[in-house]
């Protein structure tokens, strides 16, 4: 589907954008990746980086010109600390970017637009997996209220462009669980739980602090599996039909840490839990039956193997760069606004 196509990946310096761009160039696509505050993390002859501020409509029109497909990965994201103290940081810029990129893509006659939503937008469902049909059954969990409604609005916009206007544009919406892996954010101010724990283990922190009680349950999906599901969704879905993407199994944060300690050989770690630190919803599980049936997707990488791969990549970055910062390339590789 993507071989020889012109594909835009917004937020190509970020976690998901970097991994999607890598997969697309491997499949023979000509990729344009937008950058804003982050620098590129890899380069390829079929990957052109452009500097853009997607809250500026002119930049949106410029970057989408001539594109066949759009993967909307650009977003203001962060971890529990920022969500708890600055909830609007996830709202205003993301609403503006999502709305303007959809409009610019529609005007440019893009064939298909992918929007990455979030399982955090679902209402609380206790300890059972939540299905796609339940998205608007109630407000999101209180800690996710702002970011949850922002994602919901993005989905509504996708539905409008796909179903409610003349000459509609095909839109694909995926709702991932907790994705982890190479190119993730490992700085503590913005990182999610898995990346933060990996860094603490690699640094052999003593004590090794876990935010919350350690009993929160998450569905963790290795990034290569997520990208495989995204590609299947783009190839398979030709109408607005949101789909959950997850591993299909929950794991306590405490158990995630124990697995990291085990695969990295960190024995006798002094682990302490800090329930005064921000944590999010106690249990978040997603029903993945729709992805299995409609996309033919089943994850292939279990937690232990995924954590091994991520730890190996993270250590390699530290050894080659001396610090966890994006690789800097010659300015000629990035075209300015």
Mean pLDDT value across residues 38-48 = 93
Give the burial class of 251: count Cβ atoms within 10 A of its Cβ; 0-12 exposed, 13-18 middle, 19 or more buried. Answer: middle
Residue 176 burial (10 A CB sphere; 0-12, 13-18, 19+): buried
How many Cβ atoms sit within 10 Å of the Cβ of residue 277?
Answer: 13
Contact 317, 159 (CB under 8 A): no
- CA 323 to CA 318: how far, in whole Å? 5
Pick the CATH number of 6-335 from 3.40.50.720, 3.40.50.740, 1.10.150.120, 3.20.20.80: 3.40.50.720
Residue 8's beta-bridge partner residues? 32, 70
Share of the chain above pLDDT 90, in %: 82
The strand pairing partners of 273, in sequence order, are 210
Task: Summarize pLDDT for 218-261 with one digit per residue, the tens.
Answer: 999 999 999 999 999 999 999 999 999 999 999 999 999 999 99
Q: What is the pTM of this model?
A: 0.92
Residue owning tokens 């409509």: 57
- For β-strands 112-116 and 69-72, DSSP reports them as parallel
- Where does residue 284 rank: exposed (0-12), middle (13-18), buried (19+ CB within 10 A)? buried
Question: Would you kindly state where each structural domain of the chain is located, as residue ranges?
Answer: 6-335
How many residues comprise the chain?
A: 337
Average pLDDT, the chain: 92
> pLDDT tens digits for 155-206?
999 999 999 999 999 999 999 999 999 999 998 877 888 999 999 999 999 9
3-state secondary structure of 251: strand
């Amino acid at each position: 589907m993507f071989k020889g196509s012109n594909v835009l990946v917004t937020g190509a310096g970020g976690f998901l954008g970097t991994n999607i761009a890598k997969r697309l160039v491997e499949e023979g696509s000509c990729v344009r990746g937008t950058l804003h505050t982050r620098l590129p993390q890899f380069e390829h002859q079929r990957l052109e980086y452009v500097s853009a501020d997607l809250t500026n409509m002119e930049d949106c029109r410029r970057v989408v010109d001539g594109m066949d497909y759009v993967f909307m990965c650009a977003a203001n994201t962060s971890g529990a600390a920022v969500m708890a103290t600055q909830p609007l940081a996830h709202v205003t810029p993301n609403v503006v970017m999502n709305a303007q990129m959809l409009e610019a893509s529609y005007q440019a006659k893009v064939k298909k637009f992918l929007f990455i939503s979030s399982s955090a937008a679902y209402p609380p469902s206790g300890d059972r997996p939540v299905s796609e049909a339940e998205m608007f059954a109630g407000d999101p969990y209180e800690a996710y209220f702002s970011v949850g409604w922002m994602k919901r609005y993005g989905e509504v916009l996708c539905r409008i462009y796909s179903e409610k206007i003349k000459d509609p544009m095909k839109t694909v919406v995926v709702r991932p669980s907790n994705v982890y892996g190479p190119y993730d954010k490992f700085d503590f101010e913005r990182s999610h739980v898995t990346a933060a724990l990996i860094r603490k283990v690699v640094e052999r922190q003593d004590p090794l602090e876990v935010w919350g009680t350690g009993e929160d349950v998450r569905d963790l999906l290795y990034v290569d599996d997520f990208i495989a599901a995204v590609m299947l969704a783009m190839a398979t879905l030709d109408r607005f039909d949101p789909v959950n993407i997850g591993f299909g199994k929950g794991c306590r944060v405490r158990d995630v840490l124990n697995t990291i300690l085990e695969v990295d050989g960190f024995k006798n770690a002094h682990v302490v839990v800090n329930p005064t630190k921000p944590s999010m919803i106690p249990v978040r599980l997603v029903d993945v039956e729709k992805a299995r049936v409609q996309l033919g997707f089943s994850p292939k990488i279990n937690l232990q193997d995924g954590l091994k791969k991520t730890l190996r990549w993270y250590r390699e970055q530290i050894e080659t760069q001396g610090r966890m910062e994006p690789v800097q390339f010659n300015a000629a590789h990035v075209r300015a606004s």
